[in-house]
Each structure stands twice: as C-alpha cells, then as structure tokens.
Homo-oligomer: A and B are copies of this chain.
Amino acid sequence: MEKIGFIGLGIMGQPMALNLCKAGYSLWVYARRAEMMQSLIAAGATPCNSAQSVAEQTDIIFTMVADTPDVEQVILGEKGIIHGATAGKLVIDMSTIAASTTRMIAAKLAEQQIHLLDAPVSGGERGAIDGTLSIMVGGKVEQFERALSLLHVLGKNIVHIGDHGAGQIAKSCNQVVISQTLTAVGEALILAKAAGVDPANVRQALLGGFAYSRILELHGQRMLDHDFTPGFKIKLHQKDLRIVMQIAHELGIALPGIALTTQYFNTLVGAGQGELDSAALILAQEQLSAISLITDKKDTYTRKI
C-alpha cells in the first residue's frame, strides 16, 4: 500500500486527512500551524516539520491549502514538496487555485518526473467530514486511476475532466453556477416578500418544477431562516470568484452574470460578514432593496448587515 502525505489541515484538510486515517492508510502530515496536527497525531499519523519532509517519506502527497500562493509555497517553495519528492511520486492538489498556476506547477514537477493532479472539491466542510465531496480532476488519466481508490475515501462524485488545470476550470464553472443560482434564488424570495406573498410558499412551489436546484432547496431554506452557519464561508467563496474573474480576463470572455454576483460577495466581505455561510448573499440583496425576509417592515437605507 502506498504511503500517503497530507499537507494543509484546515477546515477542509483536517477531516479529509482523518477520513484517510480511518480508511486504514498510513499518513505523514504537515501543517504550517503545528497545533493543527494534534487530531491527526491522535489518529495515528506521523507529524513532519516541513512539506519537503512529508514528500521524502511518502508516495502520494495531498495538498489542501487556502489560495494560489500557498500552493506555490508548499510545492515549489523553500522546504517544499519538490525538494523531497523523487521520480514517480504523485502530488494531488485539492486546493482551489488559478488553472494557469496549476499548469506551471505541473510543468516544473514534470522536469523531475513528479506527477501532478489538480483535484479541487465542492461540498464544503459537511462534504469533507462525511466523505461526500464532488471532486473535479485534471491531469494524466493513468495518475487519475492510480489515485481513484484514495479519492473514493474523500468523495462520491469523482470525474476526470481533462489534462492539467481542467479540474480547476471545472471548479470555476461550478462556482459560476452555484453563486449565480444563489443570486437568482435570493431575488425570487425578495420579490415574493416585497409583493406580500409568503416566500416559503413560493420556494415550495418552485421546488416541484423546472426551477428546482439544490441551491433552492438547501440555501433557499437557509435564506428564509437567516441561518448563516457555514457551510462554505463567504470569504472563501469570494476568493473562488476572484479566480473566475481572473480566468475570464485571461481568456478574453465576458461573464456578466457572475461578475454581478461577485460584487455582492465583495460588499459582504467589506461589511465584515466573510465568516458567514454563502447563503448570507441574501443580506446584500435585502440591503439593496431595503427589505428583510424575516421582518415585516420595509427598512430605510440604514446599513443593516
């Protein structure tokens, strides 16, 4: 059985690494904040003092960190994976980052015959804990097959999309759909409320027809309840949309719908709401129309969020 490394033990990485331990794999782990390794050590994992050290002792190394510079750091930086890995080893980056960076890293690693898969996920903390993430994978198909039994420990809907970076592109497409559907559902609920019709009845009616989406079902209910326990945090959602806007800029294409939704996320982070669940998008929409789903008054233009 191949030895497994896991680097990055935050809100997503920690439950994912724990699921690999529970499935019987031997894990070597590293987190820049050493205290994040405690629960993994308790579960039998071996702590390391650098990403390089993890790579020296394992065959397949997962990375799950916050943003593009973090991935560059743990793979290519000082004491990074590239200095510990040898030919034939496989790096699986499950972070959500820019596809262009993924392709650059893949090329650097390939110079030393180290393989890379980009494998960003959808499903949030709940999906990480339950092992039910959607995983969108880019890279060589033989490496995808090599990784598949491991990925099945972490997720349920695992699709090989294409070559290096294709997983990241699919993740961006995923966020384009999810975020804009949040905007759509929020506008429908605002319209119902403003027109004096029960938004909960409207959601119920729409669930049974062509308007059905998982976002209407799950986040629509959270919007009605103003239940913004994450879930998936506004500030991470904003980061993902920054990547989408960056890709659109690089490719020279127009995505006006998601550009609009990005503005809502900007204002929410600006109003100090970055730690709330994405369903809190409704707060920005309520602010815009000076209306609330959970009170009967039409507010004046005070800063409510």
List the interface of chain A (C-beta within 8 A of B). 99, 122-124, 134, 136, 156-157, 159-162, 165-166, 169-170, 172-174, 176-181, 183-185, 187-192, 194-198, 201-202, 204-206, 208-216, 218, 244, 247-248, 251-258, 260-261, 288-289, 291
Contacts and interface: CB of A to CB of B under 8 A. Distances in A.
A205 B260 contact: no
9 contacts: A99-B195, A174-B209, A176-B184, A187-B258, A190-B255, A191-B251, A213-B213, A213-B214, A213-B215
B206 A177 contact: yes
Contacts of A174: 188, 205-206, 209-211
B169 A197 contact: yes
B247 A195 contact: yes
Q: Which of A165, A198, A255, A260 is the most central at the interface, judged by chain B CB atoms within 10 Å of its CB? A: A255
A216 B214 CA distance: 11
Contact of A214 (B160, B198, B210, B218): B210
B256 A260 contact: yes
Contacts of A159: 201, 204-205, 208
Given A191-B172, A192-B169, A161 B213 contact: no
B177 A257 contact: no
Contact of A134 (B134, B169, B197, B209): B209
A1 to B, nearest CB: 28
B260 A195 contact: no
Contacts of A191: 169, 172-173, 176, 244, 247-248, 251, 253, 255
Contact of A184 (B177, B198, B206, B289): B177
Contacts of A161: 197-198, 201-202, 205
Contact of A198 (B162, B179, B208, B289): B162
Contacts of A206: 170, 173-174, 177
A128 B178 CA distance: 30
A234 B264 CA distance: 29
A110 to B, nearest CB: 18
Given A173-B206, A213-B215, 13 more contacts: A174-B210, A176-B187, A176-B188, A180-B183, A187-B258, A190-B255, A191-B251, A195-B247, A211-B214, A213-B213, A253-B291, A256-B288, A257-B261
